[in-house]
């Protein structure tokens, strides 16, 4: 069973969609709670790709919207992930307020660190680690394509994966190549804070908790990048 399907199955209570927004950088869905995910446009000309039932999505329930998660259309998958995050109940205990990237700098000291995605603190991680391997869908000359995962990833001691890997459906191809004793972090505002992911070798979940929906919708509707968004709190859950 796919991890995405496992996450959806754990949702015990559906809720109507109260409000949603697909912004230039972030997608937000409000249902029982409020969830966000990266807005990932397609590789079509101008990023255009048709979203099914656009204009009528508010009449669907949040659980119905999660079906978009399996879509190859990344805009639909972005909506599906935000809907899923709006339904996940955050744990009452165990969430801590730490800078996940600073934590990775410390965790990766004198170790081989593998990164999936363009993260902050890459310079600091590179300075601290004995080796840094960066994987990207469209790599530059210093990065590696995902085709090279089987060659380089099994040697990594610390692995940080962007939660956008749920949207572009790359996560399931990454996890089997990680050694059993590696420290694995799933990082980004799109991250589902669900214990299901601990069962798949994830050691740390770092995402967000929405504390003020109005402020979040206002800033995202005005094209805020993450550090400009308001109404969210960074949260981390360690296994």
CB atoms < 10 A from the CB of 23, how many? 17
Mean pLDDT of 126-145: 93
Asked if residue 45 belongs to a domain, the reply is no
Asked if residue 194 belongs to a domain, the reply is yes
Asked if residue 115 belongs to a domain, the reply is yes
Residue 224's pLDDT is 97
Asked if residue 81 belongs to a domain, the reply is no
Host domain of residue 117: 95-206
Q: What is the CATH number for 122?
A: 3.40.50.11590
Mean pLDDT of 198-224: 97
Q: How would you class 124 by CB atoms within 10 Å of its CB: exposed for 0-12, middle for 13-18, buried for 19 or more? A: middle
Place 119 in a pLDDT band, splitting at 50, 70 and 90: confident
Residue 1's pLDDT is 62
Mean pLDDT of 16-32: 97
Place 118 in a pLDDT band, splitting at 50, 70 and 90: confident
Place 47 in a pLDDT band, splitting at 50, 70 and 90: low
Residue 50's pLDDT is 86
- Cα 74 from chain centre: 13
Long-range contacts formed by 100-109: CB under 8 A, 24+ apart: 100/185, 100/187, 100/204, 100/206, 100/234, 100/236, 101/125, 101/187, 103/204, 103/236, 104/158, 104/160, 104/185, 104/187, 107/158, 107/183, 108/157, 108/158
Whether the predicted pLDDT of 37 surpasses 80: yes
Asked if residue 226 belongs to a domain, the reply is no
Nearest to 75 by CA among 46, 45, 109, 51: 51
What's the domain count of the chain?
Answer: 1
Asked if residue 133 belongs to a domain, the reply is yes
Whether the predicted pLDDT of 48 surpasses 80: no
Asked if residue 46 belongs to a domain, the reply is no
Mean pLDDT of 17-46: 93
Q: What is the mean pLDDT of the chain?
A: 94
Residue 72's pLDDT is 93
Residue 174's pLDDT is 97
Asked if residue 101 belongs to a domain, the reply is yes
């Amino acid at each position: 069973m796919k991890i995405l399907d496992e996450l959806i199955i754990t949702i015990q209570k559906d809720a109507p969609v109260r409000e949603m927004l697909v912004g230039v950088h972030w997608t937000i869905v409000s249902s029982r709670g409020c969830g966000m995910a990266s807005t990932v446009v397609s590789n079509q000309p101008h990023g255009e790709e048709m979203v099914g039932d656009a204009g009528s999505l508010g009449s669907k329930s949040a659980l119905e919207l999660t079906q978009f998660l399996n879509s190859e259309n990344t805009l639909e998958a972005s909506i599906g992930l935000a809907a899923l995050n709006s339904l996940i109940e955050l744990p009452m205990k165990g969430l801590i307020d730490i800078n996940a990237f600073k934590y990775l700098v410390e965790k990766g000291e004198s170790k081989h660190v593998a990164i999936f995605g363009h993260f902050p603190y890459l310079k600091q991680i590179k300075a601290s680690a004995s080796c840094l391997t960066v994987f990207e869908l469209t790599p530059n000359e210093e990065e590696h394509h995902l085709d090279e995962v089987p060659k380089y990833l099994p040697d990594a001691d610390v692995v940080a994966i962007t939660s956008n890997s749920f949207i572009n459906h790359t996560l399931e191809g990454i996890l089997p190549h990680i050694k059993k004793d590696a420290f694995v972090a799933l990082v980004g505002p799109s991250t589902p804070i669900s214990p299901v992911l601990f069962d798949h070798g994830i050691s740390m979940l770092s995402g967000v908790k929405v504390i003020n929906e109005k402020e979040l919708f206002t800033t995202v509707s005005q094209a805020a990048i993450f550090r400009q968004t308001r109404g969210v709190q960074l949260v981390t859950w360690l296994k």
